[in-house]
A and B are shown apart, each in its own frame.
Chain A
Amino acid sequence: AFPKRVKVVEVGPRDGLQNEKNVVPTPVKINLINMLSETGLSVIEATSFVSPKWVPQMADHTEVMRGINKLPGISYPVLTPNLKGFQAAVAAGAKEVAIFGAASELFTKKNINCSIDESLERFSEVMTAARAASIPVRGYVSCVLGCPYEGKISTAKVAEVSKKMYSMGCYEISLGDTIGIGTPGSMKEMLTAVMKEVPVGALAVHCHDTYGQALANILVALQVGVSVVDASVAGLGGCPYAQGASGNVATEDLVYMLNGLGIHTGVDLQKLMDTGTFICNALNRRTNSKVSQASCRL
């Protein structure tokens, strides 16, 4: 049986734009988030408080955070890789943050230049400060179904890292198939292992569609009880490990499937498609959403 309601976490403005080649002007980012705020989405990941040296696309994090309309009932989490980023985020008005772990040592080394244990130490500093400020923290685990460097990732490792982040105080753990290589079999196996350590109500899936498997993977996640799914409007965000390949699953295609299953999301698909059209025009690119593509009969 499927969950009756699914919370859709919109990651387009952060994960999506971060992996788009063209740097998007601040007003466009703000408009994107404002439009998303009108679609019924309850969580919109707004930006990342990371050094602009590493992620130029997110250099305007403070302006974006200050410039967006923050509607009541909607959460606007931001990424905070360390204490410094956390403090900057709070100063800019953030009320929720996210930290990014990984189930792969090599990926962690290449991505943030330290070991998994060292990264968790950094995060614990953020956790302490967040707890003191009553700020909820969402934890991400990357490479849960495979790593671009290590290849296969053991489900035990994913469960271990997830457990550590949950025990630290993350209210939710988003399990990311970072390179999209997972299939319904590996997704099910991984979730079975993680669900022994973290309650299913605190789990989310973050699937990439690089091999076209995202919706099938999300379907099995729903079947085992997961009810939080990350997605990116218009499927923004390519894959940095496979040039020209796609990345995030498109929010429109996800919502279409959930609607068809009679699962409540609160999201207005038409308004979502309109938002996708807006950002694709601004980025001068075609949408990665098949629903959007099919619906455009002009």
Chain B
Amino acid sequence: QESQESGLPEYIKIVEVGPRDGLQNEKVIIPTDIKIELINRLSKTGLPAIEVTSFVSSKWVPQMADHKEVMRGIERHPGVQYPVLTPNLQGFHSAIAAGATEVSVFGAASESFSKMNINCSIEESIGKFEEVAKSARNMNIPVRGYVSCALGCPYEGKITPAKVAEVSKRLYSMGCYEISLGDTIGVGTPGSMKRMLEAVMKEIPLSALAVHCHDTYGQALANILTAIQMGVAVVDSSVAGLGGCPYARGATGNVATEDVIYMLNGLGINTGVNLYTVMEAGNFICTALNKKTNSKVAQASFNTGTI
């Protein structure tokens, strides 16, 4: 009721990216069985989507080298999606062979970032993704599209909303069912978030949009709030705020799932997720990584003896 009156979505889908985006940006290599245990715990929290791993060459991303074993080893809960990253057709085929039933492709709104990250231009990357999308369509496999650097680029600095809208439209037109707009270095603020979404919403239906905010400058929740005030109803986050920022040494990266859920609960928005069980999963992985949680909710709850 509260959320209806305020104009906010009644339900928000949380896409948990901890096991992929989170772990990929953690220094310590996690054993396969720990990854599987983390994902199994997350499967019991009510999260509707958990990004499991990345079918990328282990030469580039050693943390994801065990993608096949992880994919095959996890429990698959009914009603939960387990997307995996597939940068190209080869990765796609490998993912399907390992049992994947949903994939993601990773574009960027910055030429420099695209070049530095995947060693090709935006146009060339779109070409690769189109191959994936075509095969996926033939096999009825849904594809999610990511657009990085939506609010700024570590190399180019400012990124125009028009460019973000253009790349988003290309991904959507090729068949991506959802476009996740990523503030890759967390530089965005509610002002730039609003302007970017306004431009993208001219090209993509609201229901197909998601935001993927990094908390590197502490702006994530304010940016997410802005997005949901505009009607965005899908939010990416990472349990315990796993995943630092590769562009600012020692800085944080992904926003913590616990902190997002706390805010959405307070707003009366339904997510289907049990905050307590997410905190427990967060506690598990932080113990395994031997690190402190990046979630303030978890920090506060553990210290008042609520956990």
Contacts and interface: CB of A to CB of B under 8 A. Distances in A.
Interface of A: 180, 182-186, 188, 209-213, 215-216, 218-220, 239, 241-246, 250, 253, 256-257, 259-262, 289-291, 293-297
Interface in B131-175: none
Contacts of A290: 215-218, 251-252
B301 to A, nearest CB: 8
B45 interface: no
Contacts of B263: 183-184, 212-213, 216
A294 B266 contact: no
B118 interface: no
7 contacts: A185-B268, A212-B295, A242-B301, A245-B303, A257-B189, A262-B191, A291-B218
Q: How large is the interface on B (under 10, 10 to 19, 20 to 34, 35 or more residues)?
A: 35 or more
Interface in B254-307: 256, 259, 262-263, 265-268, 295-297, 299-304
Contacts of A259: 189
Contacts, number: 122
Interface string B74-95: 0000000000000000000000
B4 interface: no
Shortest 7 CB-CB contacts between residues of A and residues of B: A260-B189, A183-B266, A290-B218, A212-B296, A253-B218, A212-B259, A294-B251
A219 B300 contact: no
B303 A244 contact: yes
Max count, chain B CB within 10 A of own CB: residue among A215, A241, A259? A215
Given A186-B266, A212-B221, A256-B217, A219 B226 contact: yes
A64 B248 CA distance: 37
B300 A239 contact: yes
B225 A246 contact: no
Interface string B213-242: 001111101101110000000000000000
B219 A212 contact: no
Given A185-B6, A262-B191, A294 B267 contact: no
B6 A188 contact: yes
Contact of B222 (A219, A289, A294): A219
Nearest to B296: A212
A257 B201 CA distance: 23
B303 A242 contact: yes
Nearest to A183: B266
B249 interface: yes
B264 to A, nearest CB: 8
Given A242-B303, A294-B248, A296-B250, A215 B296 contact: no
A245 B266 contact: no
B191 A261 contact: yes
Max count, chain A CB within 10 A of own CB: residue among B6, B218, B226? B218
A246 B217 CA distance: 16
Contact of B300 (A180, A216, A295): A180
Nearest to A291: B217
Contact of B218 (A185, A215, A220, A297): A215
A207 to B, nearest CB: 11
Given A183-B266, A215-B221, A246-B296, A260 B188 contact: yes
A250 B189 contact: no
A209 B300 CA distance: 10
A194 to B, nearest CB: 18
A242 B306 CA distance: 10
A66 B249 CA distance: 41
A270 to B, nearest CB: 14
B188 A210 contact: no
Nearest to A245: B300
Given A209-B296, A256-B189, 5 more contacts: A182-B266, A211-B259, A212-B259, A212-B263, A250-B218
B46 interface: no
A236 B300 CA distance: 16
Max count, chain A CB within 10 A of own CB: residue among B217, B259, B267? B217
Nearest to B189: A260
A101 B126 CA distance: 60
A294 B226 contact: no
A218 B268 CA distance: 18
B5 to A, nearest CB: 10
Nearest to A250: B218
B33 interface: no
A294 B267 CA distance: 29
Contacts of B251: 290, 293-294
B266 A260 contact: no
B190 interface: yes
Contacts of B215: 290
A136 to B, nearest CB: 31
A39 to B, nearest CB: 18
Nearest to A241: B304
Contacts of A295: 248
Contact of B296 (A186, A211, A261): A211
B192 interface: yes
Nearest to B3: A185
Contact of A297 (B189, B224, B249, B252): B249
A220 B222 CA distance: 9
B48 interface: no
Interface string B39-58: 00000000000000000000
